[in-house]
């Protein structure tokens, strides 16, 4: 296997007993399980008893196998792999259960998100796992209850009102427009965070009619929360609940409904990535966001929650305030690139602290020094695009490092790559995160396909990226569409 480009011994500045910490973690065999393997790569840079189990082979899996042990279901049971569409389906499969029984001792399974059903199945089958009991994050799981908690804790609260199904469907566009002094946002208050289909930006009557039609057709819909549309930026901040307190990262710009990523799909609050180099706000805003993350983290800690979570914010540029919008009690879409950035800066990533918390590993680390390190930033960004209109892969696209010549508009493949350390030139970027193999079907009900990672800032706002990044997204997506038509 390839040598990791990072040396955990360099982290002694932050964790003096880092060698003891790593040795203790390595005493537990950890198997990270999920549909998207690349987002689980970070622990492989500092652990040797860590492996990943995924469903399908992709181009980036071929590269990842050089760094760690990979277990790919489709390599041995392609028919079964085609039927698996989520982690929950996998746990109940006899082939997966037999695979686990082949280990002595059985590894601990690590999940990035946990449901009550998965936890029940794991406990019933006697499978050890790393994650949080769903009871520890019940109050933050839904947008409606999260907003109530924010007010209860005395944190900055977004002006909003909750509506039951009948009350909302009986409301008129004109009534809600007047009540919110203009454009407004409708969000499912009873739906688990993390999806994009539950958010509706209402700028016109047509937007409202479409929103009502979609929600009316959803028999499970019971509550929505409605808030004024805020002109500003969508942002997020990572947190990690530790026995010593809550660690936090920098405030990150979220890339939402970027036209080149949407591919003609209606804008619906779809998250496509983050830009860590974009900081169009005063330092005080970061302090405000940090206080919210620490407040929510303290509450989660009292419930027994451990490790990583994320808070999404709306930055109100006009009032120079930031409001928490939702909580993601799991590994978030912003985590991987933040951790890659930490590795570049020589700071231990949040995944290390997550494992320390869940495995009850003691350390003499300096909490405040670690916190300051985790808030550092480099100019880097990642962005995905919608897979709609790309039903199958008919382009021999390789994961890894690409280089773009903006003068000649020439794109070239430089070779395998997996981290920011592999990006050398100003116009280099990574194409990574479940790049489909040739002739494979591409699932259409997911909001994002593989991502581009840049070692520079690409954002002009939450909704706009620079010309070069936009051109690259369009060029790749159009090439995929054209290749699919040639079948």
Could you tell me which residue, 409 or 291, shows the higher pLDDT? 291
Block residue for tokens 């706000």: 281
- Give 197's pLDDT tier (boundaries 50, 70, 90): low
Angstrom distance (rounded) from CA 151 to CA 146? 9
Q: Is 194 helix (H, G, I), strand (E, B) or coil?
A: coil
Q: For the chain, what percent of residues have pLDDT higher than 90?
A: 73
Query: In this predicted model, what pLDDT tens digit does every residue of 158-169 receive, in sequence order?
Result: 888 999 999 999
- Give 193's pLDDT tier (boundaries 50, 70, 90): very low
Domain 159-229 top-level CATH class: alpha beta
What's the confidence (pLDDT) of residue 442?
83
- Give 420's pLDDT tier (boundaries 50, 70, 90): very high
Angstrom distance (rounded) from CA 441 to CA 443? 6
Average pLDDT over residues 390-396: 86
The strand pairing partners of 253, in sequence order, are 235, 275
**Has residue 418 got a pLDDT over 50?**
yes
**Has residue 238 got a pLDDT over 60?**
yes
**Do the beta carbons of residue 274 and residue 454 sit within 8 Å?**
no
What's the confidence (pLDDT) of residue 317?
86
What's the confidence (pLDDT) of residue 130?
96
Angstrom distance (rounded) from CA 413 to CA 455? 16
Average predicted confidence (pLDDT) for the chain: 92
Residues 6+ apart with CB under 8 A from 182: 228, 229
What's the confidence (pLDDT) of residue 82?
87
Query: In this predicted model, what pLDDT tens digit does every residue of 133-158 receive, in sequence order?
Result: 999 999 999 888 999 999 999 999 88
Could you tell me which residue, 401 or 92, shows the higher pLDDT? 401
Lowest mean pLDDT among 24-33, 124-133, 388-397: 388-397
Lowest mean pLDDT among 179-183, 260-264, 450-454: 260-264
Angstrom distance (rounded) from CA 352 to CA 346? 13
Block residue for tokens 């289909």: 197
The two three-digit tokens of residue 435, written as one number: 């790049």
Cα distance from N-terminal residue to C-terminal residue, the chain:
37
Helices and strands, number each (H, E), in the chain? 18, 22
What's the confidence (pLDDT) of residue 305?
98
- Give 2's pLDDT tier (boundaries 50, 70, 90): low
Query: In this predicted model, what pLDDT tens digit does every residue of 43-84 receive, in sequence order?
Result: 999 999 999 999 999 999 999 999 999 999 999 999 999 888
Can the peptide bond before residue 320 be classed as cis, meaning omega within 30 degrees of 0?
A: no
- Give 389's pLDDT tier (boundaries 50, 70, 90): confident
**Has residue 92 got a pLDDT over 80?**
yes
The strand pairing partners of 252, in sequence order, are 236
Residue closest to 337 by CA, chosen among 351, 357, 325: 351
Angstrom distance (rounded) from CA 380 to CA 274? 9
Could you tell me which residue, 313 or 483, shows the higher pLDDT? 313
DSSP letter assigned to residue 39: G
* Domain segments of the chain as ranges: 8-135, 159-229, 381-485
Residue closest to 132 by CA, chosen among 332, 307, 328: 307
Task: Identify the helix (H) or strand (E) that includes residue 240.
Answer: strand 232-242
223-228: strand order across its sheet = 161-164, 223-228, 184-188, 199-202
Angstrom distance (rounded) from CA 361 to CA 130? 13
- Give 195's pLDDT tier (boundaries 50, 70, 90): very low
Residue closest to 454 by CA, chosen among 341, 350, 373, 374: 341
Block residue for tokens 């909490």: 367
What CATH number is given for 8-135 in this structure? 3.40.50
Query: In this predicted model, what pLDDT tens digit does every residue of 337-388 receive, in sequence order?
Result: 999 999 999 999 999 999 999 999 999 899 999 999 999 999 999 999 888 8
Angstrom distance (rounded) from CA 360 to CA 24? 10
Block residue for tokens 């947008």: 143
**Do the beta carbons of residue 43 and residue 64 sit within 8 Å?**
no
Q: For the chain, what percent of residues have pLDDT higher than 70?
A: 98
The two three-digit tokens of residue 293, written as one number: 């993350």
Q: How many CA atoms lie within 13 A of 56 on its CB side?
A: 22
Q: Is 141 helix (H, G, I), strand (E, B) or coil?
A: helix
Angstrom distance (rounded) from CA 249 to CA 349? 10
Block residue for tokens 């998207």: 36
The strand pairing partners of 308, in sequence order, are 240
What's the confidence (pLDDT) of residue 192?
66
Residue closest to 81 by CA, chosen among 70, 68, 69, 96: 96
Dihedral (CA of 181, 185, 188, 194) sign? negative
Residues 6+ apart with CB under 8 A from 279: 251, 253, 377
Q: Is 281 helix (H, G, I), strand (E, B) or coil?
A: coil
Average pLDDT over residues 171-186: 94
**Do the beta carbons of residue 222 and residue 190 sit within 8 Å?**
yes
Angstrom distance (rounded) from CA 109 to CA 438? 30
């Amino acid at each position: 296997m390839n040598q990791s480009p990072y040396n955990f011994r360099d982290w002694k500045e932050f964790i003096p007993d880092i060698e003891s910490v790593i040795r203790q973690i390595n005493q537990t065999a950890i198997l990270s399980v999920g549909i998207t393997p690349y987002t689980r790569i970070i622990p492989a840079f500092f652990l040797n008893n860590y492996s990943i189990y995924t469903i399908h082979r992709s181009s980036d899996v071929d590269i990842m196998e050089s760094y760690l042990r990979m277990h790919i279901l489709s390599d041995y049971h392609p028919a079964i792999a085609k039927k698996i569409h989520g982690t929950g389906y996998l746990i109940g499969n006899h082939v997966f259960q037999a695979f686990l029984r082949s280990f002595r001792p059985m590894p601990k399974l690590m999940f990035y998100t946990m449901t009550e059903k998965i936890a029940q199945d794991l406990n019933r089958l006697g499978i050890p796992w790393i994650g949080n009991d769903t009871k520890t994050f019940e109050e933050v799981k839904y947008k409606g209850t999260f907003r109530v908690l924010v007010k209860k804790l005395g944190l900055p609260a977004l002006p909003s009102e909750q509506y039951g199904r009948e009350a909302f469907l009986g409301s008129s566009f004109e009534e809600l427009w007047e009540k919110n002094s203009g454009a407004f946002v409708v969000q499912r208050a009873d739906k688990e965070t993390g999806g994009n289909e539950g958010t509706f930006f209402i700028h016109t009557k047509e937007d409202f009619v479409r929103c009502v039609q979609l929600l009316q057709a959803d028999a499970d819909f019971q509550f929505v929360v409605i808030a004024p549309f805020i002109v500003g930026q969508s942002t997020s901040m990572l947190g990690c609940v530790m026995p010593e307190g809550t660690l936090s990262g920098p405030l990150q710009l979220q890339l939402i409904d970027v036209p080149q990523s949407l591919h003609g799909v209606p804008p619906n609050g779809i998250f496509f990535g983050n830009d860590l180099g974009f900081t169009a706000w005063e330092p005080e805003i970061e302090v405000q966001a940090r206080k919210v993350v620490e407040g929510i983290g303290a509450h989660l800690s009292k419930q027994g929650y451990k490790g990583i979570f994320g808070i999404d914010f709306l930055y109100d540029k006009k009032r120079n305030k930031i409001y928490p919008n939702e909580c993601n009690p799991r590994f978030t879409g912003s985590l991987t690139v933040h951790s890659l950035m930490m590795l570049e800066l020589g700071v231990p990533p949040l995944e290390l602290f997550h494992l320390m918390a869940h495995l009850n590993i003691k350390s003499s680390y300096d909490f405040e020094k670690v916190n300051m390190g985790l808030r550092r930033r480099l100019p880097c960004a990642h962005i995905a695009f919608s897979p709609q209109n790309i039903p199958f892969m008919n382009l021999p696209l390789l994961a890894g490092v690409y280089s773009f010549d903006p003068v000649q508009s020439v794109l070239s493949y430089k070779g395998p790559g997996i981290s920011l350390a592999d990006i050398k030139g100003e116009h280099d970027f990574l194409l990574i995160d479940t790049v489909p193999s040739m002739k494979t079907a591409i699932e259409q009900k997911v909001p994002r396909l593989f991502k581009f990672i840049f070692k520079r800032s690409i954002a002009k706002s939450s909704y706009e990226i620079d010309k070069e990044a936009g051109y690259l997204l369009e060029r790749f997506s159009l090439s995929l569409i054209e290749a699919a038509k040639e079948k």
